[in-house]
Amino acid sequence: MVSSKARSSDPAAPYCEPFDPHPRKPRLALPPLTCDCHAHICGPESAYAYAPERIYTPPDALLPDYLHMLATVGVGRCVFVQPSIYGRDNTVMLGAMRESPLPCRGVAVVDETVSDGEIERLHAAGVRGLRFNLVDVRDPTGTVPLAAIESLARRVKPLGWHVEFLAHVDRYPDLDALFSGFPVDIVFGHMGYMRPPLAVDAERFQALLRLVRRGHCWVKFTGPSRISVDEMPYPDVVAIARALVEAAPDRMIWGSDWPHVKLSKAIPNDGDLVDLLADWIPDATVRRQVLVDNPAALYGFPV
């Protein structure tokens, strides 16, 4: 393994700030079986090597700390998402899934060489989706390798999996046309990860709204600090969130984005993030749909 000292001096993979270890209890009471649909486990660094092509190096963010946060804010289910720091090695994520006392699912990273046997093993472990990160890479482009992704999507379709993208949707003016006829459901993180300034009437955001209205696209309410020009409570995100909910309340899900790696703003307290939901989704019935019912449908949790 590369030493910590060597990593911290690597400008291509600098260390990022740690999560807040003292989550506060939110004012907003979450409904039972609320699901955190987006979290990463990182480390321990002493035991698991990070991918050399990563663009950041996180401090350890381990399962006990994550479970403490969930218990404090009132979350009863979770989805572990493979972070870019491990490339296609899903070992840490799968370990967290085995050890989690909470009902959980996973979103893995593989490539076209993955065997059918490995896909079956991932499914048995609780994986229900594949992730493609088009942002946190050394050489991001505006091109989606759609043919290779569609080939993998067809292979996992019989298992009921989806494909998740970390992508700036505003890079793709023909987003709705691009995914017309895609073989499985798709998910976009960070509300589409639009680059600021945010504008509901922007044509490229409207393309995302058209896509979610068709019923085979989901959007994660995650990472407001990643798209806002402001600090907490990220006021420019409210209109984006409400437009998405209005367009397709049955296709929205929420996630903490814990441990908030690679942020350019202040690290948020997870209790504060939960309280944003009261403004993003004012209606309690719709909020329960987003937090409980929609994740159950997408990830196959018991109703």
Residue pair 172/178 in contact (Cβ under 8 Å)? The answer is yes
Instruction: Look at the chain and count its residues.
Output: 303
Catalytic residue among 20, 36, 176, 257: 257
Peptide bond between residue 173 and the one before it cis (omega within 30 degrees of 0): no
Computed from CA positions of residues 67, 90, 274, 19, in that sequence, does the dihedral angle turn out positive or negative?
A: positive
Residue 257 among the catalytic residues: yes
Catalytic residues: 257
